[in-house]
Amino acid sequence: MQLGLIGLGKMGGNMAERVRRAGHEVVGYDNAPGKRDVDSLEALVGALQAPRVVWVMVPSGDPTRQTVSALKELLEEGDVVVDGGNSKFTDDKIHADDLATKGIGYVDAGVSGGVWGLENGYALMVGGSKEDVAKVQPVFDALKPPAPQDETGASVPGAGFVHAGPVGAGHFAKMVHNGIEYAMMQAYGEGYELLAAVDLVEDVPGVIASWTQGTVIRSWLLDLLVRALQEDPGLDDITGWAADSGEGRWTVEQAIEHSVPMPAISASLFARFSSRQDDSPTMKAVAALRNQFGGHAVKAREVEDPA
- For residue 247, the domain's CATH number is 1.10.1040.10
283 pLDDT band, cuts 50/70/90, is low
Q: Are residues 34 and 94 in the same domain?
A: yes
Instruction: For residue 21, give the nearest of 139, 167, 157 by alpha carbon.
Output: 139
d(C-alpha 37, C-alpha 139), whole Å: 19
- Number of domains present in the structure of the chain: 2
Task: Give 57 or 290, the one with higher predicted confidence.
Answer: 57
Q: Are residues 160 and 192 in the same domain?
A: no
Residue 251 falls inside a structural domain:
yes
Q: What is the pLDDT of residues 43-90, one digit of tens each?
A: 999 999 999 999 999 999 999 999 999 999 999 999 999 999 999 999
Q: Are residues 250 and 208 in the same domain?
A: yes
Task: Give 243 or 265, the one with higher predicted confidence.
Answer: 265
Question: Residue 284 has what pLDDT?
Answer: 66
Residue 284 falls inside a structural domain:
no
Residue 286 falls inside a structural domain:
no
Q: Which phi-psi region, left, alpha or beta, contains residue 292 (left: φ > 0; alpha: ψ -120 to 50)? A: alpha
| Neighbour-count burial of 93, counting CB atoms closer than 10 A to its CB (0-12 exposed, 13-18 middle, 19+ buried) | middle
Which of 166, 185, 207 is the C-terminal boundary of a domain? 166
Sheet architecture: strand order including 123-127: 25-29, 2-6, 53-56, 80-83, 105-112, 123-127, 161-165
Residue 82 is part of which domain span? 2-166
d(C-alpha 170, C-alpha 128), whole Å: 8
Average pLDDT in the chain: 91
Q: Do residues 105 and 82 lie in contact, with contact meaning Cβ atoms separated by under 8 Å?
A: no
Active site residues: 174, 181
180 pLDDT band, cuts 50/70/90, is very high
Q: Are residues 136 and 220 in the same domain?
A: no
Q: Are residues 93 and 113 in the same domain?
A: yes
Question: Residue 307 has what pLDDT?
Answer: 47
Question: Residue 154 has what pLDDT?
Answer: 75
Question: Residue 165 has what pLDDT?
Answer: 98
Which of 144, 166, 188 is the C-terminal boundary of a domain? 166
Residues with Cβ < 8 Å from 63, sequence gap 6 or more?
none
Residue 295 falls inside a structural domain:
no
Q: Are residues 185 and 158 in the same domain?
A: no
Residue 149 falls inside a structural domain:
yes
Out of 12-21, 47-56, 109-118, least confident range:
109-118
Residue 289 falls inside a structural domain:
no
In the chain, the percentage of residues whose pLDDT exceeds 90 is 76
